[in-house]
Amino acid sequence: MNLQTVMQELEALGKERTKKIYISNGAQEPLFGVATGAMKPIAKKIKINQPLAEELYATGNYDAMYFAGIIADPKAMTESDFNRWIDAAYFFMLSDYVVAVTLAEADIAQDVADQWIASGEDLRMSAGWSCYCWLLGNRVDAEFSESKMANMIEMVKNTIHDSPERTRSAMNNFLYTVGISYLPLHEKAVETANAVGPVEVKRDKKKSSFLNAYESIQKEVEKGRLGFKRKYVRC
């Protein structure tokens, strides 16, 4: 399949209602409004195809960019490739659910995520923290430095309430993920989440939402999900 046929198939799967939901979350034209589950049959036909993923991502079409993440080959991507992708990720559904997810399957994931967290740019920082959420939820605990994770928890504790909106949300998710999926620092994450308390995330034209990592961790612990790891990062 080439770029033209994939774009035609995606367009045929578009739904006006889904398109409106994506736009309400920050997506911009061009987009078709394809539900992510509806992309699976095309993905099965193509499997992994990095050159095609690059072509799709470069279209600027939200659905094509999302699909690019599904068929990308993260291990074939360099630091500059990931930086090019994050540069084009204009809202959180791309930065956190396409670029960060793809990065999480690369060997250079932690190095790139660390640079993004230190960047001072909201969506880059958000993608960096989100990447660690995907990593912690999938890879064995031994792959992470406990002292580094502890320092990151301290960073969240000291800066979360003053951070930009999307970064704040991703930091909250990081605390939650450490609390569930990284056993060496479960207790530290719980204590910190309790100290941080509710985290307000303001959203354009919508009511603010309040996130509470402490409550979310407790709910998962009660369900017996402590130590949870995903089998795959990408669907």
Kindly report, residue by residue over 14-25, the tens digit of the pLDDT: 999 999 999 999
Q: What are phi and psi of 206, to 5 degrees?
A: -130, 165
Q: Rounded distance, CA 70 to CA 68, Å?
A: 5
Q: Which two tokens stand for residue 131?
A: 């990447």
How would residue 37 be classed by pLDDT, with cut points 50, 70 and 90? Answer: very high
Q: Model confidence at 202, in pLDDT bands (50, 70, 90)?
A: confident
What is the residue-averaged pLDDT of the chain? 97
Other beta carbons less than 10 A from residue 229's beta carbon:
13
Which residues partner with 211 through β-bridges?
199
Question: Which has the closest alpha carbon to 92: 62, 67, 114?
Answer: 62
| Helices and strands (DSSP H and E) totals, the chain | 14, 2
pTM over 0.85: yes
Q: Where does the pLDDT of residue 234 fall: very low under 50, low under 70, confident under 90, or very high at 90 and above?
A: confident
For residues 174-189, average pLDDT: 98
Question: Are 43 and 67 within 8 A, CB to CB?
Answer: yes
Three-state secondary structure call for residue 60: coil
- Cβ count near 124 (within 10 Å): 22
> What CA–CA distance (Å, rounded) separates 156 from 172?
8
What is the Cα–Cα distance from 156 to 81, expressed in whole angstroms?
A: 28
At a CB cut-off of 8 Å and minimum separation 6, what does 232 contact? 138
Residue 203, beta-bridge partner list: 206
Q: What pLDDT, on a 0 to 100 scale, did the predictor assign at position 150?
A: 98
